[in-house]
Amino acid sequence: MVMLFDRYNLPSSIFELVFATEQQAIVAQLLVDYIKSNDGSVGKTEMSLFATRLNDGELQARIPKKYQGNAVKLSYNKRQFYDRILTPLRTMGMIDYDMYSKKYKISENFNKEMTRIGLMWIKELRASPSTRLD
């Protein structure tokens, strides 16, 4: 996943920074809130039920003030939920999946990876010029 940002105009929400569309950011926030409300982890069955309720338009959410802060029913395709929301959250380290307990959990690995990326940049700054230029 590619994350492009302007450090002078960072959004207030991490989800707006990570996801390309507002709808994706809203759905990702809903998912994280759902996991938090279930003691920080949900099983495969609960995740499937969440995705199904989202697919069927049964989830109600309060959308940003930009849209008058009204509670509306959200609908998001189940397959796209897994492909565009859950998979990126897992690959970036925001959510982990424990194969033994079969649970999705909120994770701090995203922070660790961002720190590692920052250290890669520091290493590049301190390295001598590359010989790639001919």
Domain boundaries, the chain: 14-107
Percent of the chain with pLDDT over 70: 92
Say how far residue 46 (Cα) sits from the centre of its chain.
18
> Are 47 and 109 contacting, i.e. CB atoms less than 8 angstroms apart?
no
Q: What is the mean pLDDT of residues 125-134?
A: 76
What pLDDT is recorded for position 59?
A: 86
pTM attached to this predicted model: 0.86
- Specify the CATH number for 14-107; select among 1.10.10, 3.30.1370, 1.10.730, 1.10.1220: 1.10.10
- Supply the DSSP symbol for 102: T
Whole-angstrom distance, CA of residue 106 vs CA of residue 127? 36
Helices (H), the chain: 14-18, 22-37, 44-55, 78-80, 87-91, 109-126
What pLDDT is recorded for position 36?
A: 96
Q: How confident is the model at residue 120 (pLDDT cuts 50, 70, 90)?
A: very high
Is the pLDDT score of 98 beyond 80?
A: yes
Whole-angstrom distance, CA of residue 23 vs CA of residue 25? 5
Whole-angstrom distance, CA of residue 93 vs CA of residue 113? 8
Whole-angstrom distance, CA of residue 69 vs CA of residue 50? 22
Q: What is the mean pLDDT of residues 41-62?
A: 92
Summary mean pLDDT of the chain: 89
